[in-house]
Structure formats: C-alpha cells, structure tokens
C-alpha cells in the first residue's frame, strides 16, 4: 500500500467516524451554542490533544499493551464512565432545580471563565478517559501503515490526518452553533439543551461502564 493511498483510505474511515454524532459533537455544540466560543475551541483542542496522544501511544505499541491487559483496560473504562456520568448528573441536576448550570450562567460568563484552558482540560479528559478511542487506534491504525515505513512516523502522520478532519468538522459545528445562540439566551432553552446534552453524555457513560 502506497503512502498516499494509505492516507486517503484512513481519511475516509476517520472522516465517517468524525461525522457520526457522538459525545464530542454534543460537547462542542453545547459549549459553543451558549456563546462560549473560546471554551468551545478549548474543548476541540483538548479532544485533538487526546487523539494525538492515543495515536502516538499506538504507534509506540503502548496501547496494545493496555488493551491486552484486561485489568488495566477495565480500570480505565470505569474511570472514564464515572467521569462521564458525574458530568451528566451535575448538568441534569441543575436543570431540574430550575436554574442554569454553573458554567452557563451569564454572570459567570461575564466574569471571564470562558477560557480556552478550561475547555482544553474538559476535552482532553473526555478523550483520554475513553479507552474505546485507544482500542480503535490499536485495531485500525496498524492496517494503514505501509510495509517498509517507520511505524512511529507514519502513525503520527495518519493521526494528524484524523486531527485535521476533526478540526475542520469542529469549525463547522461551532459556526452552526452561533445560529442557536440567540434562542439559547432564554433560560428554558438552556435547560432543554443541557438536558439533551446531559442525557447524551450519561448514555455514553453507562454504555462505557457496561462495556457496550
């Protein structure tokens, strides 16, 4: 398999994966739709940081060891599930109390917490605590590394293709979310968005805990 063929084939696979609505899409849309563009881009950069680390670790063979160890994989899966369920529960709890969640309140936004750093931490944790991302890279990445090429260098190149597609799609999501910003200034609309997003995140957390 030529390098160019490998790159295009891998781009098709991860492109379809990126376009499939999921946890990353929910986080980016919610954060951006609430007017927190800097934090939304922080979430995007955090997700891509996690992708880069998974790709680098896979290229080095580390994640193969993780997936081979049932105990290590299970431990990471439970930690990731607990984090997602905690995030969903906090989001849903505040909406049913009849108040906006702590990170969507206008006063908080005005205080300057719309930061890239906060979003980056959230995006990175969400990505790295999901062992299914690592399992995907272990299963898929080696298949697109042509014989005779350096595994680490080619693995990073393929990972950068995934990151580039992710950044482009995230820019589309953030741009689309601006359309919703005016509607989401209403407290009822914010609660609805947080209930939808919290439910999506909670479902992902439960599925991760159950190993689905």
In a domain, 157, yes or no: yes
CA dist., res. 187 & res. 21, Å (int): 25
Q: What local confidence, expressed as pLDDT, does residue 1 receive?
A: 62
In a domain, 187, yes or no: yes
In a domain, 70, yes or no: yes
Whether the CA torsion 132, 135, 139, 144 is positive or negative: it is: positive
Question: Do the beta carbons of residue 36 and residue 109 sit within 8 Å?
Answer: yes
* pTM listed for this prediction: 0.75
CA 90, 94, 100: angle at the middle one, nearest 5? 120
In a domain, 1, yes or no: no
Give the chain's end-to-end CA distance (angstroms, integer): 33
| Cβ partners under 8 Å of residue 156, min gap 6 | 55, 56, 59
Helices (H) and strands (E) in the chain, counts: 10, 0
Question: Do the beta carbons of residue 126 and residue 46 sit within 8 Å?
Answer: yes
How far is residue 77 from each of residues 51, 66, 120, 145, 204, measured CA to CA in Å?
A: 17, 11, 21, 27, 11
CA dist., res. 195 & res. 108, Å (int): 20
In a domain, 109, yes or no: no
- Residue range of the domain that includes 127: 37-98+114-210
Radius of gyration of the chain (CA): 18
DSSP 21: -
- Which residue numbers in the chain have pLDDT < 50? 100-112
In a domain, 53, yes or no: yes
In a domain, 152, yes or no: yes
In a domain, 74, yes or no: yes
Q: What local confidence, expressed as pLDDT, does residue 67 receive?
A: 66
Q: What local confidence, expressed as pLDDT, does residue 185 receive?
A: 65
CA dist., res. 212 & res. 203, Å (int): 11
Task: Tally the domains of the chain.
Answer: 1
Q: What local confidence, expressed as pLDDT, does residue 109 receive?
A: 37
């Amino acid at each position: 398999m030529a390098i160019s063929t490998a790159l295009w084939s891998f781009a098709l696979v991860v492109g379809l994966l990126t376009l499939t609505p999921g946890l990353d899409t929910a986080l980016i849309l919610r954060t951006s739709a609430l007017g927190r563009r800097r934090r939304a881009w922080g979430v995007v950069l955090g997700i891509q940081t996690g992708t880069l680390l998974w790709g680098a670790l896979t290229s080095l063979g580390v994640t193969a060891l993780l997936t081979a160890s049932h105990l290590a994989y299970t431990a990471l899966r439970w930690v990731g599930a607990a984090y997602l369920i905690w995030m969903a529960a906090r989001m849903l709890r505040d909406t049913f109390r009849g108040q906006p969640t702590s990170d969507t309140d206008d006063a908080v936004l005005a205080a300057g917490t719309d930061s890239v750093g906060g979003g980056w931490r959230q995006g990175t944790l969400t990505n790295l605590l999901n062992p299914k991302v690592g399992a995907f890279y272990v299963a898929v990445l080696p298949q697109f590394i042509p014989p005779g090429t350096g595994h680490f260098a080619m693995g990073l190149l393929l990972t950068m293709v995934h990151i580039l597609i992710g950044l482009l799609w995230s820019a589309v999501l953030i741009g689309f979310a601006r359309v919703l910003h005016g509607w989401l200034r209403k407290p009822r609309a914010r609660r609805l968005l947080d209930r939808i997003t919290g439910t999506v995140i909670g479902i992902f957390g439960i599925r991760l805990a159950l190993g689905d």
